[in-house]
Amino acid sequence: MSKTGVQISGLAVNPTGTVSASVQGSVDIFLQVATVNFGAVQVGVSYNGASSGNYSNASQFLLRNDGSVRVNVTIQSTALWTSISQTAGSSAYLWNVTNTTGNTSLPELCATSPNAWNNMRLSGDDPLGEEICYLNFTDANDYAKISIYITVPSGEAAGAKTSTVTFTGSQA
């Protein structure tokens, strides 16, 4: 008895396939350093949180973009002082934003200039737009340093002063 086999010849009609996926962007900002503490301060004296040049200084926030897209960030706070009206023209509570050492996460700023001091806006005020633009998401290049500068008003009563600063991120 002879064995016969089946012989197949020719090529597959469509030898390649395609796989596709759409990665959703995520906005995720994180304050790696979330507390600014100037300690004991004196009436009429100014305190500059950027003077040390070190982002781990207790008078600077360290904001990190943990998402998968560049983000724009707004910054607002509750009032720090009780003796003055904290308005857009007040220079008693200021902030600035810079890159951290060796980091180029901030290609540009929206409403501000790098290293410029800006008035802290109160929560509930109409936003002027984002203060930080296009904060990078690439690991090790995704940080922004936000320094705080305060001047204790001459009429400020003694006691602990606290302000909550809110950073809100949106996809750039």
The pLDDT value recorded for residue 114 is 60
pLDDT recorded at residue 39: 86
The burial of 65, by beta-carbon neighbours within 10 Å (0-12 exposed, 13-18 middle, 19 or more buried), is given as buried
| Helix or strand (DSSP H, E) at 150 | strand 143-151
Select from 76, 90, 92 the least CA-distant residue to 130: 76
Cβ-contact 105, 66 below 8 angstroms: no
Position 53 scores a pLDDT of 43
Q: What b/e sequence results for 146-156 when a residue is b if at least 16 CB atoms lie within 10 Å of its CB, and e otherwise?
A: bbbbbbbbeeb
Element (H, E) at 47: strand 46-48
C-beta of residue 27 within 8 angstroms of C-beta of residue 71:
yes
Give pLDDT, residue 108.
Answer: 61
Residue 140 φ then ψ, to 5°: 70, 0
pLDDT tens-place values along the chain, 172 residues long? 556 666 766 666 777 889 999 989 999 999 998 999 888 899 999 888 766 444 344 578 999 999 999 999 989 999 999 998 876 557 899 988 887 766 666 766 665 666 678 888 888 776 666 788 888 898 888 888 888 999 999 999 999 999 999 999 999 8
What pLDDT does residue 27 have?
95
* Residue 46 C-beta-side C-alpha neighbours within 13 Å: 10
Strands 60-65, 46-48: pairing is: unpaired
pTM attached to this predicted model: 0.80
Report the chain's terminal Cα–Cα distance, integer Å.
76
**In the chain, where the domains are located:** 29-157
